[in-house]
Amino acid sequence: MTLLTKDRFGFLARSELIGLVVLALLIVVVLPLALDIFRLNLVGKYLTYAFVAVGLVLCWGFGGILSLGQGIFFGLGGYCMAMFLKLESSSVENTKIQSTPGIPDFMDWNQLTSLPWFWQPFKSLPLALIAVVVVPAAFAFVIGTAMFKRRVGGVYFAIITQAVAAILTILIIGQQGYTGGINGITDLRTLLGWDIRTDHAKYVLYFVNAALLIGVLVLGYFVRASKLGRILVAMRDKEDRVRFSGYSVAGFKTFVFCLAAVLAALGGAMFTLQVGFMSPSFVGIVPSIEMVIYTAVGGRLSLIGAVYGTLLVNAAKTALSESFPQLWLLGLGGLFIAVVLAFPDGLAGIWSTHVAPRLARLTKSGSSTPVVPTGSPAE
């Protein structure tokens, strides 16, 4: 088999390709066979967070830019999708009991009598899909340009992203008539007439989501393997050296921040489709920090580790909060401390320093893969 003999496949190293194949088998074959649709739908939901975690690996792990506000972009993507779905389910015949039929129910409850201008584009699916990508990217571009041009970085940047997440949450909750308020946008039913609440639709959406995630990982590996990936690492190390080598550091930082934002937004849009609603509880500070924890647990230098980290933390969250709801937050905090203190490279670090060498010794395949200290994938 060529898989065992070739070292690189385009921009993918052999170990990365194997890791991708194993992950694809797990989420496309093993999990759908092993789980019922309720559990599989939960896994699908977790995998939408993995989009955010993969973006954070690029932005934080490689680029050294810690954003504590990725919920902003997850939310913007999710809301863009939800606005389209909501308009579709608010047809005149569906809403004829309202005093103004044809507008979303929460608008009617808040005495709005016509659709606000910024909702108009979301009548069209292509425009809504464009908005899923463009709105978060534009927002990230504004934040990134404003911060990075002024050389705001490190912990200050993290705090500002967190503040923006808090502000956006307050804005969404406060503008109930335009956004659905604290309840979010609920009661989403169909996508171009196709009922997204059936088991069949849930299966289809799960596989679309899984395929999209694999695509995002491949994109991540492409960026990582390009010269841009090395410039990100160089910026994390010695920002001034990069600047005095003729690069616009602010431009590169803004790019990777926007890329992470777009990935988060894709996750948000898939979340809305699979879960059937979007609310401010996925935008604010707490979900944003949880997403950073997924990345840290998976290993912030490992794209594929981020996916495992997300799955593991969320599986633990579900298991624990089903039996001991009050213990979960303590468990999450403990996990974060444990990762920071004991396993700074997360699951990926445990894999590459403990599991992989032992596996190599066990199989004695003869192919001694060199242990790369950073950036080695989890599988």
- Amino acid of residue 296: A
Residues 157-176 that bind other proteins (CB under 8 A): none
Q: Which C-beta is closer to other proteins: that of 81 or that of 258? A: 258
Residues 320-379 that bind other proteins (CB under 8 A): 373-374
The least CB distance from residue 359 to other proteins, in Å, is: 24
The least CB distance from residue 227 to other proteins, in Å, is: 4
User: Cα 324 to chain center, whole Å?
Assistant: 27
The least CB distance from residue 231 to other proteins, in Å, is: 6
Residues 191-210 that bind other proteins (CB under 8 A): none
Residues 219-238 that bind other proteins (CB under 8 A): 223, 226-228, 230-231, 233-234, 236-238
The neighbouring-strand residues paired with 68 are none
Q: What is the DSSP string of 308-344?
A: HHHHHHHHHHHHHHHH-GGGHHHHHHHHHHHHHHH-T
Q: Pairing between strand 190-191 and 8-9? A: unpaired
The least CB distance from residue 256 to other proteins, in Å, is: 9
Q: Which C-beta is closer to other proteins: that of 146 or that of 359? A: 146
Question: 103: phi > 0 → left, psi -120 to 50 → alpha, else beta; which?
Answer: beta
The least CB distance from residue 248 to other proteins, in Å, is: 5
Q: Which C-beta is closer to other proteins: that of 140 or that of 173? A: 140
Q: Which C-beta is closer to other proteins: that of 118 or that of 244? A: 244
The least CB distance from residue 325 to other proteins, in Å, is: 42
Q: How far is it, in rounded angstroms, from Cα 176 to Cα 199?
A: 31
Question: 363: phi > 0 → left, psi -120 to 50 → alpha, else beta; which?
Answer: alpha
Q: Which C-beta is closer to other proteins: that of 133 or that of 315? A: 133
Q: Which C-beta is closer to other proteins: that of 203 or that of 222? A: 222
Residues 240-259 that bind other proteins (CB under 8 A): 240-249, 251-252, 255
Q: Which C-beta is closer to other proteins: that of 202 or that of 253? A: 253
Number of residues that bind other proteins (CB under 8 A): 26
Q: Which C-beta is closer to other proteins: that of 14 or that of 243? A: 243
Count Cβ atoms within 10 A of the Cβ of residue 310 and give its class: 0-12 exposed, 13-18 middle, 19 or more buried: buried
Largest interatomic CA distance in the chain: 75
Buried b (16+ CB within 10 A) or exposed e, 173-196: beebebbbbeebbbbbbebeeeeb
| Helices vs. strands in the chain: H and E counts, helices first | 18, 4
By CB under 8 A, tell whether 58 contacts other proteins.
no
The least CB distance from residue 237 to other proteins, in Å, is: 5
Number of neighbours of residue 121 by Cβ within 10 angstroms? 15
The least CB distance from residue 257 to other proteins, in Å, is: 12
Question: 278: phi > 0 → left, psi -120 to 50 → alpha, else beta; which?
Answer: beta
Binding residues vs other proteins (CB under 8 A): 223, 226-228, 230-231, 233-234, 236-238, 240-249, 251-252, 255, 373-374
